[in-house]
Amino acid sequence: MKTLAELAEIREKMKGKVAMRQNDGNETRIIVGMGTCGIAAGARPVLAALVEEVSKEKLEETVTVTQTGCIGICQYEPVVEVIEPGKEKVTYVKMTAEKAQRVVAEHIKGGKVVTAFTIGANVAK
């Protein structure tokens, strides 16, 4: 027999698992470019790392991770865009799984853009 506390536990555990079906457009969106070029450049591990981190940090109810086709800047793939409601879009380039973890920790959770990975920083070089 389940107690109220056990019910609440299942609820908390499951909420994150179904959260992506309840998008209301107010969540932060992390978009990974998954065109042929992006996949070739290693977008899949980046996508996997993002999904994993978001889930680990229990951010599923406010953050969605999706893919899109080619973003059009193939030389900078893998590309990740972060769109927070009411804020400017941030574009990260030449991403790796490790960089993705930092973006989730510092930007999504900590609220501070990881400037070193942004397209601005990389084009300037």
Partner 1 sequence: MIRSHVLICGGTGCTSSGSAKLQTILEQELAARGLTEEIKIVKTGCFGLCEHGPVMIVYPDGTFYSRVQPEDIAEIVEEHLLKGRVVTRLAYTDTGDGEAKTDELPSLSDTAFYRSQQRIALRNCGVINPEVIDEYIAMDGYKALGKVLTEMTPAEVIDVITKSGLRGRGGAGFPTGRKWAFAAATPGEIKYVCCNADEGDPGAFMDRSVLEGDPHAVIEAMTIAGYAIGAHQGYVYVRAEYPIAIERLRIAIAQAKEYGLLGKNIFGSGFDFDLDLRFGAGAFVCGEETALMTSIEGQRGEPRPRPPFPAVKGLFGKPTVLNNVETYANIPLIINNGVEWFNSIGTETSKGTKVFALVGKVNNTGLVEVPMGTPLRTIIEEIGGGIPNGKKFKAAQTGGPSGGCIPAHLIDTPIDYENLLAIGSMMGSGGLIVMDEDTCMVDIAKFFLEFTVDESCGKCTACRIGTKRLLQILDKITSGNGTMEDLDTLEELAAHIKTTALCGLGQTAPNPILSTLRYFKDEYIAHIVDKRCPAGVCKALLSYVIDAEKCKGCTACARKCPVNAISGSVKNPHVIDTAKCIKCGACVETCRFDAIYKK
Which residues of the chain form contacts with partner 1 (CB under 8 A)?
1-4, 7, 10-11, 13-15, 17-18, 20-23, 25, 32-36, 39, 47-48, 51-52, 55, 64-69
Instruction: Please give the Cα distance from 122 to 87 (Å, whole number).
Output: 21
As measured in angstroms, the least distance from the Cβ of 116 to partner 1 is 26
Closer residue to partner 1 in complex, CB, 23/115: 23
DSSP state of 106: I
Closer residue to partner 1 in complex, CB, 54/90: 54
Alpha carbons within 13 A on the beta-carbon side of 104: 26
Closer residue to partner 1 in complex, CB, 4/124: 4
Dihedral sign from CA coordinates of 109, 99, 69, 122: positive
As measured in angstroms, the least distance from the Cβ of 81 to partner 1 is 12
99 alpha-carbon distance from chain centroid: 11
Dihedral sign from CA coordinates of 65, 69, 71, 73: positive
As measured in angstroms, the least distance from the Cβ of 108 to partner 1 is 15
Closer residue to partner 1 in complex, CB, 65/104: 65
